[in-house]
Amino acid sequence: MSVSLFKAFVQGMTDYIVKHNANYALIETNLNYLLGMVTGQAGGDYAVPPGLKEIFDRKGIIGSGSYDFNAGTLTGPNYNLTVAAGAYWSGATGNFRSKPGSTSLPMAGKATGTWYVYLDSSGAPALSSSVKDDTVRQFAWDSVTHVVSAKVLYAGVSILLDGDDYADQLTSAARSKSFSKVADRLEEIEQLLAEMSGFYAEDPDNHAGLDFYYLAGKVRNDSLIYETLAGHVTLADDDTNYVEVDPADGTVSANPTGFTSGRIALFQVTTAAGAITIVADVRTWALAGTGGGGGGGHTQNTDLGTTSPAFTLNRDAAGAPTQDCKLEVERGDETNVAIKWNETENKWQYTNDGANWYDLGDITVALGAQELTKYVPVDDPQEVWTETNRGASIDWEDLDLSSFISAMQGCSAVVLRVFFWDSAPGPGVNVQFRKKDAPALPTWAYSAWKDEHDPRTLIVPVDADLVCQFFVNASGVDTANLRVFLLGYFEKVIGVGTQDRTFTPLPITVAASGNAEVNQASFMNRGLVHYLKVAETGGLVFGTYAIEIFARDTFQGEDLLYKAVGIRPDLDFEDWLPWFSRDADETGELHVRITNHDGANPGTYEITIRAEQFA
């Protein structure tokens, strides 16, 4: 910027005052311009130099965070909307607005609807329910839930580059690398794109007849990267060929049918008369450069879920199904567990140990065995051990009770009547009992002492062989005496629980004057039925019907378990009379026959059974 003043004053000039005033006016104008640049005063042309006007050639906020605020639920009582500091250039009108600190704008009392953030002459943000000059943002406000949503820049307002935006351009967080110039950053991106664009590129100089040549490439399948060497595939003649790469191993192949689901498309090539005629490059940047899991776009260890209501395994399967599908849990040093669809058996199964598979919904595994204990008294207690005139034990001595106890499923403890006496009783003179090879010394509760007329009753645990042990602490060499009687024992009883369940199989359709014999899967092998309901849910049946349930799929009379006849179709049939159900075939099926006595109309019947089932 320069100032040119009139300096050639000469003697005799009559317009001296006019020229002098013009000089002062020019000086004043430029001084005001400089003061406006130095002080940064808001408004008018003085606030922004001409050079910056050329940069800010459109209306917008300066910096992406200028006058920004968070959407979401505001907190009472004032429900303040906190608007960040910012700067703004109005473009055509030439107004520059700025505010160095944040501003709290209360939303309390504001009606539900669209609200606008605009700037006053000082650059401070304010709220309005209608558009005003220098409006920068708009949002939706709900006065009931106090939620701010749908926040956007107002129409025509751009985001102009500021220092933070520029600095962000110079940093590549993904590569942990900084640049000193934007040009260097762009150049690296160009080089990277050029390198990746060469992956699986066509190699036309080497094409020969129907042999289509391609360059080397890399493809990622989840966390694994496969490298493919340059090579060729032989195409079908007089046809359209589809060249693709399998992300599972990096293999390139071609076929005349179409691109295969789960593989990454490379080229669509037309051939004629033994030669390649047309090549269409259909490589996609997302897949050819960074092919994700089977071409499905899954990114291992980063995907958190899917917006689709279904996740399909083995999605490229066609024709008759043959493969099992499995979801597995990695457990480190422990054996992996999983659930799978067993295609051979046509059912879902799971494993808790990686080796044994159980059917989902199989009640034989849903019901846990219960271990109970019952006390068995001995009517005529037997003397199981007798010793007189003995000394102290050198080590624990076995007391084998297996010949006195009958417990088919095991015994947890015995009740002993112990008589112990010594010619010189004292505090350390006693006999102690314990479970065989128990790791710790027994407490006083397992001990007996004093004399023959003061016996002790002890409950002593035994091992799987019904053996406990004792240790005699005698006062001398031949001073101790011992008599032990078995009063009873605690026998283990292993039983099974039961499970209440409601079973509603698929509806059964029966022709007019006919019957249907159906084996409904996933019922139970045995249990007590305490409720049965049959409803006619389809057809125009007027005649009665009957229901029969059998123990086998042969539907023979000797296997009949339940029968009800003369049932009216206009009323739901309900029966609360308990009856025992079993499947003699051990297939967990409901063998049901329904007979329709209506001679003109078919009927559809739905059964509901509530039962207490057993393993």
Asked if the structure places residue 351 within a domain, the reply is no
Provide CB contacts within 8 A for 489, sequence distance 6+.
Answer: 375, 376, 378, 401, 405, 407, 411, 413, 414, 415
d(CA 116, CA 109) in angstroms, rounded, equals 15
Which H helix or E strand runs over 341?
Answer: strand 337-342
123 domain-assigned: yes
Q: Could you write out the DSSP letters of every residue in 115-170?
A: EEEEE-TTS-EEEESS--TTEEEEEEEETTTTEEEEEEEPTTPEEEP-HHHHHHHT
Same domain flag for 136 and 63: yes
What is the rounded distance in angstroms from the CA atom of residue 487 to the CA atom of residue 469?
Answer: 17
Give the pLDDT score at 162.
79
Last residue of a domain, one of 278, 295, 312: 295
- Do the bridges between strand 158-160 and strand 60-62 make them parallel or antiparallel, or are there none, so unpaired? parallel
Q: Does any domain span residue 366? A: no
- Average pLDDT of the residues of the chain: 84
Q: Which of 245, 277, 295 is the last residue of a domain?
A: 295
CATH number of the domain where residue 534 is located: 2.60.120.680
Percent of the chain with pLDDT over 90: 47
Task: Kindly state whether residues 376 and 488 are assigned to the same domain.
Answer: yes
pLDDT, position 2? 65
**Chain CA centroid to CA 174, Å:** 27
Give the lowest-confidence range in 46-60, 153-167, 221-235: 46-60
Residue 317 is assigned to a structural domain of this protein: no
pLDDT of residue 51: 61
Give the pLDDT confidence of 356-401 residue by residue, as tens digits. Answer: 888 776 544 444 456 678 899 998 999 999 999 999 999 999 999 9
Contact 278, 270 (CB under 8 A): yes
pLDDT tens, position by position, 58-106? 888 988 889 999 999 999 999 999 999 999 988 767 788 899 999 999 9
C-alpha dist (Å) from residue 314 to 310, 322, 341: 13, 11, 11
| Tokens coding 321 | 């199904």
**Nearest to 603, CA basis, from 515, 510, 506:** 510
Q: Does pLDDT of 424 surpass 80?
A: yes
From 150-164, 214-228, 259-273, 525-539, the region with the lowest mean pLDDT: 214-228
Asked whether residue 388 falls in the same domain as residue 468, the answer is yes
Kindly report, residue by residue over 441-457, the tens digit of the pLDDT.
Answer: 666 788 998 877 789 99
| Residue 266 and residue 212 share a domain | yes
Domain assignment present for residue 121? The answer is yes
**Domain extent at residue 60:** 55-163
CATH number at residue 472: 2.60.120
In this predicted structure, the answer to whether residue 127 has a pLDDT above a threshold of 60 is: yes
Q: CA 240 to CA 453: how far, in whole Å?
A: 107
Boundary of a domain, candidates 268, 295, 322: 295
512/531 same-domain check:
yes
Do 179 and 155 fall within a single domain? Answer: no
Given a cut of 50, is residue 135 above it in pLDDT?
yes
Same domain, 380 and 476: yes
Instruction: Say if pTM beats, i.e. exceeds, 0.75.
Output: no
- Sign (positive or negative) of CA dihedral 388, 392, 398, 401: positive
389 and 404 assigned to the same domain: yes
Residue 324 within a domain: no
Asked if residue 599 belongs to a domain, the reply is yes
**What pLDDT was estimated at residue 363?**
46
597 is a domain residue = yes
Alpha helices, DSSP H only, in 176-302?
182-197
Q: Are both 133 and 95 inside the same structural domain?
A: yes
How buried is 566 (Cβ within 10 angstroms: 0-12 exposed, 13-18 middle, 19+ buried)?
A: exposed
Same domain, 593 and 517: yes
The count of structural domains within the chain is 5
Clarify whether residues 61 and 99 are in a common domain.
yes
**90 and 112, same domain (yes or no):** yes
